[in-house]
Amino acid sequence: MLIELLTKRYPGMRAWLTQRLSALVMAVYSIFAVARFLIVQPSNYGAWVDFFQPLWWRIATLLFWISLCIHAWLGIRDVFKDYVPNPSVRDVLDKLLVVSLWVYLVWATWLLLA
């Protein structure tokens, strides 16, 4: 049943499911982040550096950023489809969106894994 919904017969299902799964990843990360903030309570720069020191936390944060970029791309792309009637303007906006999200993702990766 699920495999059939993800075929070309239902083109929006894949995007819908991807956006829901990315939201789920972000929600789970947010719950863990709040719990970790309450436990560790970093108060200065050194404490924040220590907070992001564990590799597992940096990878989890990177997964959050990847999910955020995917979620934003799908959502804003649909907003452009609905509210920008000119296809050439919409294509330019889509390209600007993709470039900016890639820049944000590369920047987050550089910060987290450097």
pTM: 0.86
Report, as ranges of residue numbers, the positions in the chain whose pLDDT lies below 70. 1-7
The pLDDT of residue 4 = 67
CATH class of the domain defined by 14-113: mainly alpha
The pLDDT of residue 55 = 94
Annotation-wise, does 83 bind a ligand? yes
The pLDDT of residue 27 = 98
Contact predicate 25/17, CB 8 Å: no
Annotation-wise, does 29 bind a ligand? no
Contact predicate 53/62, CB 8 Å: no
The pLDDT of residue 10 = 75
The pLDDT of residue 67 = 97
The pLDDT of residue 14 = 87
The pLDDT of residue 31 = 98
